[in-house]
Amino acid sequence: MEFKVSDDRVDRHGRIADKQTTGGWKAAPYIITNEVIERVAFMAIAVNMTRYLVVEMHQTVPDSATHVTDWIGAAYVLTLLGAFLADAYLGRFRTIIIFSSIYAVGMFMLTISATFNTF
């Protein structure tokens, strides 16, 4: 007995999707884990960024607070761009993989820049 999806949805190979084998929670643990790790990293940076900018980069407290809130605002607004790209061009999973990789490279570069004293 075949259970075909009624609204002509297709799987990643272009075939009519079979409801028994497609969808569900297969990818959910990976996405949830990725999101939790990303949120922890984001909040850890956001909490410590003002102090870093004041102590290490010798900015004033108001300037550093402004830069941090600008950074947080940009991070939240750019999710709209990611949503558009995911819906219109790349797909959800490909978008998550691409931008998570970019995020990981940025986190690595931030860690390296804070670890090594260049002066």
The Cα–Cα gap between 111 and 105 comes to 10
List, for residues 13-35, the tens digit of each pLDDT value. Answer: 777 877 777 767 877 888 899 88
Cβ density class 70-98: b for 16+ within 10 Å, e for less: eeeeeeeeeeeeeeeebeeebeeeebbee
Closest CA to 5 of 27, 21, 28: 21
pTM: 0.65
Q: Decide if pLDDT at 36 tops 90.
A: yes
The per-residue pLDDT for range 42-68, each reduced to its tens digit, is: 999 888 989 989 998 899 999 999 999
pLDDT at 8: 72
Per-residue pLDDT tens over the stretch 64-104: 999 999 999 999 999 899 999 999 998 888 888 898 899 88
Would you say 115 and 52 are in contact if contact means Cβ atoms under 8 Å apart? no
Q: How far apart are CA 34 and CA 56, in angstroms?
A: 30
Output the pLDDT for position 74.
93
Per cent of the chain over pLDDT 70 is: 90
